[in-house]
Structure 1
Amino acid sequence: MAYTFQVTIDSPDPHPLADWWADALGWEVEPSDEPFIRGLIAAGHATEDDTTTHRGTLVWKAGAAIRHPEGLEGAPRILFQFVPEPKTVKNRVHLDVRTGDDDPQALVERLVAKGAKHLHEGRQGPSVWTTLADPQGNELCVSH
């Protein structure tokens, strides 16, 4: 049997990071179901402390997710999960963003302008890539 998966990234501030990554990838932030959240609070299954407000909308404090515009058929979901501690070491796993026919350098420049940090350029045989860190320090590579 083959399994599905989602990628989970720890974050001390998941909602802005989900926004950043959705913009970076051309994906969509999953919408909040405010009436559902309020119903769970009213029924005693959650509390106001489990929520926060992001961009004027009630959301779960525990995290935010993004998905490919074609849904889970396009790519696995990415969940940005709240953790209280900041990132302190290099990631053991990172995302490789492949630009296809788009210019990877144009994407690198756009992401740096939106808060990414340029870390280094890499090359192995004919493969070349740029390694960046997102606004919270998580590494990613951009290539064709």
Structure 2
Amino acid sequence: MTSRIAALAIDAVEPRVVAEFWCAVLGWTVVDTASDGITIGPAGGAGLTIDVFAVPERKSVKNRLHLDLRADGGSTVEELRRLLDLGARRVDVGQGSDVSWVVLADPEGNEFCLLSRTVQEVLSSS
């Protein structure tokens, strides 16, 4: 017997803001709203969901687990611009300058990475 991932949980002071950000990033919709949080997922309800839970405290340390994203149907440069326009911000977690990804954070500081084929493509978009 094995387990499967049912959902990814994100803590947020403002769950609505974080849920809306991730819906826009992933092209997902709100699946359920409860008093303690919001569940988002792909249209049609199949697959993994993200539960954004209300917590009283802000994030204070680097995530031990994060999402790695890849541009779907466009260039990494275009996707980086889109993510920044949606409210993501670049963050330095000690990754250095010779990596093939960009570290970003959602509106509450939860880190995630945008993977790229080349770091030059990403850096040229700055």
Superposition TM-score, scaled by structure 1 size:
0.69
- Determine if the alignment matches structure 1 residue 108 to structure 2 residue 109: no
> Could you say what the CA RMSD is over the residues aligned between the two structures, in angstroms?
1.8
Measured after TM superposition, the shift of residue 64 of structure 1 is 0.5
- Determine if the alignment matches structure 1 residue 9 to structure 2 residue 10: yes
1:68 — aligned with what?
Answer: 42
| Letter of the 2:22 counterpart | W
Choose the corresponding residue for 2:59, options 87, 91, 110: 87
* 1:1-144 to 2 correspondences below 5 Å: 1-4=1-4, 5-32=6-33, 60-73=34-47, 76-120=48-92, 123=99, 128-144=100-116
Give ranges in structure 1 of 5+ residues lacking alignment: 33-59
Structure index of larger Rg: 1
Question: C-alpha separation between the residues in 2 aligned to 1:21 and 1:122?
Answer: 27
The SS at the match of 2:59 is: coil
**Deviation per residue, 1:14-51 (Å, 9 max, x gap):** 1121011010111111155xxxxxxxxxxxxxxxxxxx
Measured after TM superposition, the shift of residue 71 of structure 1 is 2.8
The SS at the match of 2:51 is: strand
Q: Contact 1:14–1:63 at 8 Å: present in 2 too?
A: yes
The SS at the match of 1:72 is: coil
The SS at the match of 1:71 is: coil
Question: C-alpha separation between the residues in 2 aligned to 1:132 and 1:90?
Answer: 12
